[in-house]
């Protein structure tokens, strides 16, 4: 696809009117890796940036099988009933390897995807600087320009996606499936640190007792992990998506958090800091990638690593040598 | 100081005999930033590396005032009574800025420093690739070549020192001062993740009740944070250094952990992985430092960061521009 300046302008205008077709076309442009498309995508984003920032950016992360899709489906329906337009995006670190997607089809959120006020976008393809997470971030901005009130970014809490999500959204909810002590331990280290809320899913039927125990365990842990004097003490919320229990309370907390940030003038500041940090991360990732892509560097480093592993060199002396 | 090949050989021989004077001279050489000294230091380390690895490498981290020095003083005495030689080193991330040291003098560990079997080295000066942490790591290797049985690396649990310490030692003990819930929260995020043990200090006199409560809180938290099937479940140990209570139990646990790693053949593997990771970290830190030291890059990045903060550019588009 090639696109000229007039077409970019027209596309931007249609997006601002809320056109889903225009939104989809723009996302395709953003995900393209050809030089011409990337220039065009940059221009489109630049013209739309003044119209972004109006949504609540909600990050949801949790292990496969924890009930993420069911929760998003019901939460989305509730929000649409409140008159809101809802977009659902995904960061899927594994898709860059497998080519697959955690949102393989829209049947995962069957009821939500059928609604005009909802927009569900599968995990983007990658292949350029910043890859998948970058596409998701820019798609989020497009959705805001298109007038969506809530943008949900979902990710499986593995790899580094949770560090990225914390730099993209306003609020991170970690979904935990109730279980025994042993199953609890499977939570990836580092994930709790970015939580603005813990959601214990499947709090219904025979799972109720286990869910209450899980909620209690995490309440204590979160309390220890919260910085003193912090304006926000992350709550633990029990939820049953199939019974639509606890989701309203979950949303009330999210709005309370957003209002708190807005009142204190912190939201804009946080988002500016996030954007600056994203820039730095993207640049540094690419600087390192270029260093390692250089075959001479790469071969030298591999040789030195072998010498370090075999005990011939200290890491410090080897590093001096690698950078000579 | 300039030093020739024969002198390096003599120095290495003296270190292997356990000479404290030679050890001190070698550390000074390692900390030097002149090119000739660094080459000499590299040669010295290379010749001594086959004689390293024989110590238990113990990392102790905790906030200022948590009782670190008092604990090390008493633990060191206990170990020397068991016939061991003990070295105490420090990584002090703040010293690179202030020029100061957390080990300002040896009076902090008054009794230990008076003993012939103890070697206490203040926080090193920095100023070269890898800085402070690198000097500490290489000093640790020298201490092993000099026959020390236990090398204690202490650091205040702030900044990034805890990530570094996890790549240098075999066992990390986090020292926690008993306190109320609010005080507990001051623990830096990320610190718990590297803990092989939590030590609740000052478990004596009027502090006993608070210490028991603190120990209970952390036991639950550690349980949640431990990976399922992990061969080591980090214990919580209450200790009173002034009453010499709990320190023997602490040491028994550390030896049990070391034996566990040795039995499974994991110790050497872990140390090799640590060394390889240190090499990668040192190289990548310097690659990024060079990128940022380049005035053109730095000025461009600052300008782009302003544009990202003001909402003129997305981080992705700005990153493309920065790296053009």
Q: Cα dist. A123→A63, A68, A101, A151 in Å?
A: 16, 15, 6, 14
Q: What pLDDT was estimated at residue B202?
A: 94
Q: What averages of pLDDT result for each successive group of 10 residues across chain A (324 residues)?
A: 88 96 94 90 95 96 86 96 95 49 59 89 65 87 98 78 84 85 51 85 92 86 71 92 97 97 93 95 94 95 96 93 90
Task: Suggest the residue from A46, A227, A271, A317 to mutate for an interface test with chain B (most B CBs closer than 10 A).
Answer: A317
Q: Which of B33, B51, B69 is the last residue of a domain?
A: B51
Mind giving me the DSSP string for B269-318?
Answer: HHHHHHHHHHHHHHHHHHHHHHHHHSHHHHHHHHHHHHHHHTTSS-HHHH
Identify whether B92 is part of a domain.
yes
Structure tokens at B320: 């493309």
B256 and B281 part of one domain: no
Task: Suggest the residue from B317, B318, B323 to mutate for an interface test with chain A (most A CBs closer than 10 A).
Answer: B317
* DSSP state letter for A152: E
Domain count, chain B: 3
Q: What pLDDT was estimated at residue B296?
A: 95
Identify whether A21 is part of a domain.
yes
B156 and B117 part of one domain: yes
Identify whether A287 is part of a domain.
yes
Identify whether B270 is part of a domain.
no
CATH of the domain at A146: 3.40.50.300
Q: Which residue of B has its CA nearest to A286?
A: B323
| Confidence band of B189 (pLDDT split at 50, 70, 90) | low
What pLDDT digit, counting tens, does each position of B107-134 carry?
A: 678 889 888 899 998 766 555 666 678 8
A318 near B CB under 8 A: yes
What pLDDT digit, counting tens, does each position of A247-294 carry?
A: 999 999 999 999 999 998 899 999 999 999 999 999 999 999 999 999
User: CA A47, A50, A54, A55: dihedral to nearest 10 degrees?
Assistant: 40
B177 and B310 part of one domain: no
What pLDDT digit, counting tens, does each position of B244-294 carry?
A: 999 999 999 999 999 999 998 899 999 999 999 999 999 999 999 999 999
Q: What pLDDT was estimated at residue B188?
A: 57
Identify whether A34 is part of a domain.
yes
B283 near A CB under 8 A: yes
Q: Which of A264, A292, A310 is the last residue of a domain?
A: A264
Identify whether B234 is part of a domain.
yes
Distance CA A263, CA A310 (A): 58
A45 and A63 part of one domain: no
- In angstroms, the separation between the Cα of residue A130 and the nearest Cα of chain B is 7
A161 and A309 part of one domain: no
In the block, tokens 């300002």 appear at B104
CB contact (8 A) between residue B283 and residue A272: no
CB contact (8 A) between residue B305 and residue A280: yes
A19 and A83 part of one domain: no
- In angstroms, the separation between the Cα of residue B222 and the nearest Cα of chain A is 9
Mean pLDDT of B57-68: 88
The pTM is what?
0.81
Nearest CB to B323 within list A46, A185, A283:
A283
In chain B, which ranges are continuous DSSP H helix? Answer: 5-16, 20-31, 35-48, 68-81, 95-98, 110-113, 131-145, 161-166, 181-184, 208-225, 247-263, 266-293, 295-309, 315-322
Distance CA B63, CA B265 (A): 33
A190 contacts on B by Cβ (under 8 Å): 190, 193
Nearest CB to A283 within list B129, B284, B301:
B301
CATH of the domain at B27: 1.20.5.170
Q: Which of A264, A295, A310 is the last residue of a domain?
A: A264
B49 contacts on A by Cβ (under 8 Å): 311-314
State ipTM: 0.85
| CB-based contacts of A12-16 (< 8 A; 24+ apart in sequence) | A12/A44, A12/A47, A12/A48, A12/A145, A15/A48, A15/A142, A15/A145, A15/A146, A16/A48, A16/A51, A16/A145, A16/A146, A16/A147
Identify whether A269 is part of a domain.
no
Q: Which residue has the higher pLDDT, A191 or B301?
A: B301
Q: What pLDDT was estimated at residue A75?
A: 97
Residue B318, domain extent: 275-322
A150 and A244 part of one domain: yes
Whether the Cβ atoms of residue A178 and residue A203 lie closer than 8 Å to each other: yes
A239 and A113 part of one domain: yes
B105 and B223 part of one domain: yes
A218 near B CB under 8 A: yes
Q: Which residue of B has its CA nearest to A219?
A: B221
Identify whether B269 is part of a domain.
no
A92 and A131 part of one domain: yes
Q: What pLDDT was estimated at residue A156?
A: 75
What pLDDT digit, counting tens, does each position of A178-215 carry?
A: 874 444 444 555 667 788 999 999 999 988 999 998 89
Nearest CB to B186 within list A38, A228, A282:
A228
Q: What pLDDT was estimated at residue B13?
A: 98
- Count of alpha carbons within 13 Å of A194, Cβ hemisphere only? 27
Chain B, 18 to 57: residues with Cβ < 8 Å from chain A are 38, 41-42, 45-46, 49-50, 52-53
- In angstroms, the separation between the Cα of residue B107 and the nearest Cα of chain A is 31
Neighbours of A87 (CB within 10 A): 25
Residues in chain B: 324
In the block, tokens 């080295």 appear at B121
What pLDDT digit, counting tens, does each position of B24-41 carry?
A: 999 999 988 898 999 999
A183 and A287 part of one domain: no
B70 and B24 part of one domain: no
């Amino acid at each position: 696809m090639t696109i000229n300046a007039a077409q970019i302008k027209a596309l931007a205008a249609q997006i601002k009117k809320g056109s889903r077709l225009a939104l989809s076309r723009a996302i395709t442009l953003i995900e393209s890796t050809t030089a011409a498309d990337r220039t065009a995508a940059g221009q489109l984003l630049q013209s739309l940036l003044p119209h972004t920032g109006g949504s609540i950016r909600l990050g949801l992360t949790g292990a496969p099988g924890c009930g993420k899709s069911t929760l998003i489906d019901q939460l989305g329906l509730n929000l649409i009933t409140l008159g809101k337009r809802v977009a659902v995006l995904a960061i899927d670190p594994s898709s860059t390897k497998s080519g697959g997607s955690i949102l393989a089809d829209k049947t995962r959120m069957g009821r939500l995807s059928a609604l005009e006020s909802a927009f569900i976008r599968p995990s983007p393809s990658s292949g350029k600087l910043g890859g998948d997470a970058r596409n998701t971030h820019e798609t989020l901005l497009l959705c805001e320009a298109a007038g969506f009130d809530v943008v949900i970014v979902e990710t499986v809490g593995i790899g580094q996606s949770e560090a990225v999500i914390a730099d993209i959204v306003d609020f991170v909810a970690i979904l935990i499936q109730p279980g025994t002590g042993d199953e609890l331990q499977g939570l990836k280290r580092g994930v709790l640190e970015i939580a603005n809320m813990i959601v214990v899913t499947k709090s219904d039927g025979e799972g109720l007792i286990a869910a209450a125990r899980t909620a209690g365990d995490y309440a204590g842990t979160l309390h220890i992990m919260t910085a003193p004097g912090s304006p926000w003490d992350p709550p633990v919320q029990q939820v049953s998506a199939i019974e639509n229990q606890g989701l309203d309370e979950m949303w009330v907390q999210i709005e309370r958090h957003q209002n708190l940030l807005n009142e204190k003038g912190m939201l804009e500041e946080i988002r500016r800091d996030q954007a600056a940090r994203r820039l730095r991360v993207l640049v540094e990732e690419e600087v390192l990638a270029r260093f390692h892509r250089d075959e001479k560097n790469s071969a030298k480093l591999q040789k030195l690593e072998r010498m370090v592993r075999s005990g011939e060199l200290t890491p410090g002396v080897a590093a001096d040598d690698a950078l000579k």
